Amino acid sequence: MEKIYVTRPLLPEIDEYITEIKEIFESQWLTNMGKKHSELENTLKDVLKVPNVSLFNNGTIALLTAIKALDLPYGSEIITTPFTFAATPHCITWNGCKPVFCDIEPERMTIDVNRIEEFITPNTSAILGVHVYGFPCDVEKIEEIAKKHNLKVIYDGAHTFSTEINGRGIGTFGDITMFSFHATKLFNTIEGGCLTYNDDNLVRKIYNLRNFGIRSQEIVEEVGINGKMNELQAAMGLLNLKIYKAEQEKRDKIKNFYDKNIEGIKGIRLPKMSDNVTNSYQYYPIVIEEDYPVTRNRLYDIFNEHDILTRKYFYPACTDYDCYKNDLAVKLADLPVVNDLKNKVLCLPFYGSLTEEVLNKIVGILKGQK
Ligand SMILES: Cc1ncc(COP(=O)(O)O)c(C=O)c1O
């Protein structure tokens, strides 16, 4: 059996992409807010059910720009969680702000809203929630806390393409949400990402920040960066928009197979998404509890021995990174749920073309540990 990866990129038919590339070559317009860029930006408003979309060359630069666009005071504190990808706290730090790490909820694994207020100081400027694996943060409670303390709210929605809460696009919660369109994400533009937001006043600011702050040939309004998505990326996105739903349907079948076959296995917990939330089908995480016969790390190695690559996502926690662990606040931080779950979560292979043979093998390995 060939190596099984934790995910595979969604790819359109190559001939369709070649046709797109030909058009781009003929137009001789490769980047700088071209035709494909505009088309993708507009289409995504409907897909994500949001009033404003700004495309970016990747999700990290998008998140970096989101923090910048909100004019948070230099040196201020942003409350987030260490149960995320490195980009989340790094974007805070690159903005000259300080990531303050809060614990997570055991079920949805997002920021623990009952603990956020413990971390609020006069220096706090924002909350940056991460919708981990597609599980949305408790957006209502976060909004309530933010209003009470006059804080901005940013969401890292890298895993929540197309997610809705009670029919409302997840990108409409908080001040700004970032989506990643990296090759490993359900919907990809090879590399790429976007910001979504309700406030029309942010359109101009984000447009400028993404383009070196340049407004016109002679006017530079902001200290911007180069965050522009190019036409080849946008073309990939337009084609993948036609097929991402079919991929989600295939992943739904795989999810049902996993759910049905894993549910009864002693020592494995399946985190549940609430009924009012649509699944983005980005990841399939399982939690290996103490009463499972082997540890998560051992199980990961066993899968590797069978050429099945799973992911200890998110291990290590960001608070374990060399660049954060020596911070006094990090050393003193009380993060029991993160420190427990970082050793227990395993993301299983999850993509539409997984065969029944492979799925049976994966479940067989999970059941076979004694
Ligand atoms: C939670 C999270 N935040 C941020 C990112 C960064 O996005 P990108 O790779 O598009 O820069 C990723 C994934 O790559 C992610 O998983």
pLDDT for res 255: 98
Quote the pLDDT of residue 370.
Answer: 78
Top mutation candidate among 56, 57, 60, 347 for ligand 1, by most atoms within 8 Å of CB: 60
Question: Domains along the chain?
Answer: 14-241 (3.40.640.10), 245-368 (3.90.1150.10)
Distance 281 CA to ligand 1 centre (A): 16
State the pLDDT at residue 180: 98
Cβ pair 50, 171 in contact under 8 A: yes
Write the pLDDT tens digit of every residue in 95-120.
Answer: 999 999 999 999 999 999 999 999 99
Instruction: Please write the tens of the pLDDT for every residue from 225-257.
Output: 999 999 999 999 999 999 999 999 999 999 999
- The contacts of residue 358 (CB under 8 Å, 6+ apart) are 1, 4, 308, 349
pLDDT for the residue 1: 73
Sign of the dihedral defined by the CA atoms of residues 238, 228, 44, 61, in that order: positive
Q: Which residues line ligand 1 (CB under 6 A)?
A: 58-60, 84-85, 87-88, 130, 156, 158, 180, 182, 193
Q: For residue 164, what pLDDT is reported?
A: 98
How far apart are the C-alpha atoms of 229 and 359, rounded to whole Å?
36
> Is-contact 137 85, C-beta < 8 A?
no
- Ligand 1: distance of its center to the CA of 26 in Å? 33
Pick out the chain residues at pLDDT < 50.
none
Chain-centre distance of CA 208, in angstroms?
Answer: 24
CB hemisphere CA count around 351 (13 angstroms)? 17
**Taking the model in full, what pTM does it have?**
0.98
Contact 40, 238 (CB under 8 A): yes
